Amino acid sequence: MIPKKGLFNVPITCLPLDEQIMLILRWANMRASKVVYLANVHMLMEAHWNFSFRKILNKADLVTPDGKPLVLMLRQLGIYHQNQVSGMDVFLNLCALAEITGKPVYFLGSTQEILDKIKRKLDEEYPILKVAGMKSIPFVPIDEIDKSHNTELIEEINQSGAGIIFVCLGCPKQEIWMSHYHGKIQAVMVGVGAVFSMYAGITPRAPHWVQQLCLEWLYRLTQEPLRLWKRYASTIPYFIYLAIKELAITHKHNSNQTKNLLLGTDIENLDFTPEKIGEIFVRQNIVTREDIRQALLEQSLNPNLKIGEILVSKQLISLKQLKFYLKNQNIQFGSLVLEKKLVRKQFLDKILALQSATNHKLGELLVQQEQFSEDILKEVLIEQSLRRKGLFLIENTSDKTTSQVEQQQLYFTFGQQKV
């Protein structure tokens, strides 16, 4: 039910960085057993050559576009709003938010030397972050991972209270390991690979401009030539060949698959009224109804306080979370089409000026100007309604009305079928 796009038969999650971070943090709050893989060219090629590994990626909860080449390919396939969801950005964002909200974090893998350096740096940069544990597990060959369970480790992690586990075992070993313990370890496992050594200061991260030019692989190659040259020589040329081939096939056979799905959708009956922010937090499993009840009680004694402010003061949510959900609660159609990069701001300003002189709706004018199709218009309107109601990216639909479930199913189907 999360928007995805297949690249070489691997489902890549099509959500901006901030939405993926918020989703991981919500799962961590629930202590849900989830796996998050950070996909780059190497991982996709491993999956292309190894069917069993591809099956593991297909069962993941999130497969983020870590590598810049994947982001560029997704944009060529019409996912214009997708940005890079890199391992280091995920790591730093989650550490910062976990510190603010009091979510314990566990660090697993790598060497004890690197873990010690990480601990010292965390103490400086995130002094009140709750570190549930750090463990460098003994070496286990890949083909022996699925033969047994480390019950002591499972018990240790589950009893630690950790909501997030950063796993550093290297690709594809860490993904196979997380898949094996998926459903047994009650936390969100995030495979971070080289992030541990980068954060510890052993391997420098490529400068931002190098990342933007898709040359991070070259920068890393200069850092570890003996270890990486064979991998890059075998994966990069073949990836380029497959990418060109897939893009050519996609553009040749491009068809409007959303059209049939949208037939009969009654957009006029969509409810765009913003839901109360407290109800949104409950729907997203960020806080409990008892938390909201206590916040309302406090608000009754201090009428000048807002519910969101009270939840932040109690460290039930972070300020970043509050701003994120408030933005979605009141999101405007124009803001959403800009966010999804369906139109340019300069053109939107002209259409808004034209709208003020007519009785037409903004979406209708954009369709008339052939900026996007009626199907895309319907998709954006459905997403706007879901965001305002706090229904986007919710997996449990048991407490929703039938019409809301149908709208949500449409939305997530669009995410998979889109362009």
Supply the DSSP string of 246-305, one letter for each residue.
HHHHHHHT---THHHHHTT--GGG---PPPPHHHHHHHTTSS-HHHHHHHHHHHHH-TTS
Distances (CA, A) of 228 to 70, 216, 225: 19, 12, 5
Distances (CA, A) of 293 to 282, 296, 303, 329, 398: 11, 5, 15, 20, 22
Quote the tokens at residue 276.
């109360």
Q: Is residue 132 located within the same domain as residue 142?
A: yes
pTM for this one?
A: 0.87
Q: Is residue 404 located within the same domain as residue 312?
A: no
User: For the residues 365-381, what does the mean pLDDT come to?
Assistant: 89
Give the domain-ending residue among 287, 319, 351.
319
Task: Round to whole Å and give the CA distance between 66 and 56.
Answer: 17
Quote the tokens at residue 142.
């890949």
Q: Is residue 298 located within the same domain as residue 341?
A: no
Task: Round to whole Å and give the CA distance between 69 and 214.
Answer: 6
297 located within any domain: yes
Task: Give pLDDT, residue 302.
Answer: 93
Supply the DSSP string of 81-110, one letter for each residue.
T-----HHHHHHHHHHHHHHHT--EEEEES
Q: Is residue 198 located within the same domain as residue 82?
A: yes
> How many structural domains is the chain composed of?
3
CB atoms within 10 A of CB 119: 13
To which H or E segment does residue 4 belong? strand 4-7
User: For the residues 258-273, what does the mean pLDDT come to?
Assistant: 61
119 located within any domain: yes
CB atoms within 10 A of CB 55: 11
Give the structural domain span for 344.
Answer: 257-274+330-419
324 located within any domain: no
Q: Is residue 102 located within the same domain as residue 87?
A: yes
Q: Is residue 285 located within the same domain as residue 261?
A: no
What phi, psi does 148 have (nearest 5°)?
-160, 165
pLDDT, tens only, 21-38: 999 999 999 999 999 999
Rg (CA), the chain: 23
pLDDT, tens only, 315-344: 999 999 999 999 999 999 999 999 999 999
Task: Round to whole Å and give the CA distance between 393 and 325.
Answer: 12
Q: Is residue 193 located within the same domain as residue 210?
A: yes
Candidate from 11-25, 75-89, 233-247, 403-417 with smallest mean pLDDT: 403-417
407 located within any domain: yes
